[in-house]
Amino acid sequence: MQVGLKAVCALAIAGLALGLAATVHADSLTVKTEQGKVHGKTINEGKVKAFLGLPYAAAPVGELRWKAPEPPVKWKGERNATKFGAHCAQNHVFDDIIFEDSGPSEDCLFLNVYAPADFTDKSKLPVMFWIHGGGYAVGASSEPRHNGDFLPTKGVVLVTINYRMGVFGFLAAADLGHEANGAAGNYGLLDMVAALQWVKTNITRFGGDPDNVTIFGESAGSFAVSTLMAAPAARGLFQKAIGESGAAFSDVLPTDALEAREKKDGEWVASLGVKSLQELRALPTDKVLDAAKAKGTNGFPPAIDGKLLTEPVADTYAAGKQAHVPLLAGWNRDEGSFFAMRGMTAVQWKGFAAGLFKDRAAEFLTLYPGDTDEQALRAAIDYGSDAFIAFGTWKWLEAHRKTGDSPVYRYHLELAAPPSKFHPGSFAFHSDDIEYVFGTLDTRPGAVWRPEDRKLSEQMMGYWTNFAKTGDPNGPGLPEWPKYDKVDSLIHLDSAITSGPDTLRPRYEFLLKGMPAMDF
């Protein structure tokens, strides 16, 4: 009897130990990656675990400046993953981009992982891989508007990344091409591929499913999504795509032919007075950035480098050679709200039409009418929106619908946000979607949010995460979102969500006949 009691007690103690071990595993903030152990923190009242500042590639400094990313360095012991890594070196452009990291650096190839607090390495949750915008020139993963406090509560693992930008991300001088056997530039895009490869290798340990990854981004991040879908090097690293306001079907961020870029960028390098790549790589970061200012915000866009991209992105889609994955994309009603700041009258608008479209001006004015000053201002915002963002994004949706062999969903964000510190007007402006998608409305300085804003944010979070889970944004409690691949229908994201046919198609078909260049 005594022996039996001891055995029962031993079993009970062993069971308790196993239970405690399981609890410790489930609650642990330490995860072992391929590079070493990382220790994160809990956020959002314990609902989410965050692992910040994880290096996905070697520091691109010294001899690695303007080279394809190298594998990250391994470490011993436990890495503190409770703070963001440095954001990538950049010139200041937009006041509404706010960073929560230690500052700029060329040593910036970090990513962050946010997961539901109860994740285990068996969870197999869908992964959402965020690429920030900023014209391929500015921005970072530490911006509070796309933090990971809330999306993971919808049952996903969120990854946000830094990538090289501007002159450090896309310089395409000929000497760099010779060094890389014919390919130069696109280091920022190669960084994205490297980060996706890191996710493929490590995300299981954070509860994610490496075979269910959705890439998504806004503005330049959306341009990048459309480009990665065309890049063979990224094939198989993601299974779904979301684009918010932008696509590489536009001249706003052109993808230049390599020969032209090598000439222009070579002239810029020559202006620095350096005589070798060694001297170029030895220049201080600030000196490089100061010299790059002369080329403007969009002075260093991607190039057709012959390796990552061998042809224009639109040609890849036309041939049906892009990744055949479900696509959800759209834009905001007032992407051209900058026209409201410039003002517009009926007389000015008709003069604008005649000057820009000449013998097509009458047709233009039937699509963008401006018979009164109020109507002219609305038409200016609409045309600015189309020329800046909508037309290129529409062409992407149309191209993938024709050749992508996958479901396509299209949206139009129409709810005008309340005025805020950096956006005094009431518009559905460019980048307005970010806080709605991430549930981070309260990070926008000075905004006084209404119940309809919070309701729409919750609905958009539902649509986006449903799509990441299944390739279909529809789900319980959400208005039906029809496919765009079989009928010319889209969803209108407003205080009351509705769906219906595309009434704006005639505008885009008009622009297909030719759209003069505009200075944005």
Q: Which of 219, 226, 245, 457 is catalytic?
A: 219
Q: Please say whether the beta carbons of 372 and 292 come within 8 A.
A: no
Q: Which of 398, 430, 431, 457 is catalytic?
A: 430
Taking the C-alpha atoms of residue 265 and residue 300, their distance in angstroms, rounded to an integer, is: 8
Buried b (16+ CB within 10 A) or exposed e, 239-273: bbbbbbbbbbbbebbebbebeebbeebbebbeeee
Buried b (16+ CB within 10 A) or exposed e, 314-338: bebbeeebbbebbbbbbbbbbbbbb
Candidates 411, 406, 428; CA nearest to 419 is 428
Q: Is 430 a catalytic residue?
A: yes
Interaxial angle between packed helices 373-385 and 346-357, expressed in degrees from 0 to 180 and rounded to the nearest 10: 40
Taking the C-alpha atoms of residue 129 and residue 496, their distance in angstroms, rounded to an integer, is: 29
Give the three-class secondary structure for 329.
strand
Q: Is 335 a catalytic residue?
A: yes
Q: Which of 143, 244, 262, 335 is catalytic?
A: 335
Q: Is 219 a catalytic residue?
A: yes
Taking the C-alpha atoms of residue 154 and residue 137, their distance in angstroms, rounded to an integer, is: 31
Candidates 212, 224, 62; CA nearest to 133 is 224
What is residue 429's DSSP assignment? B
Q: What is the 3-state secondary structure (H, E, C) of 52-119?
A: EEEECCCCCCHHHCCCCCCCCCCCCCEEECCCCCCEECCCCCCCCCCCCCCCEECCCCEEEEEEECCC
Q: Which two tokens stand for residue 373?
A: 């000053």
Q: Which residues pair with 115 in a beta bridge?
A: 49
Q: Please say whether the beta carbons of 473 and 466 come within 8 A.
A: yes
Taking the C-alpha atoms of residue 329 and residue 484, their distance in angstroms, rounded to an integer, is: 10
Which residues carry out catalysis? 219, 335, 430
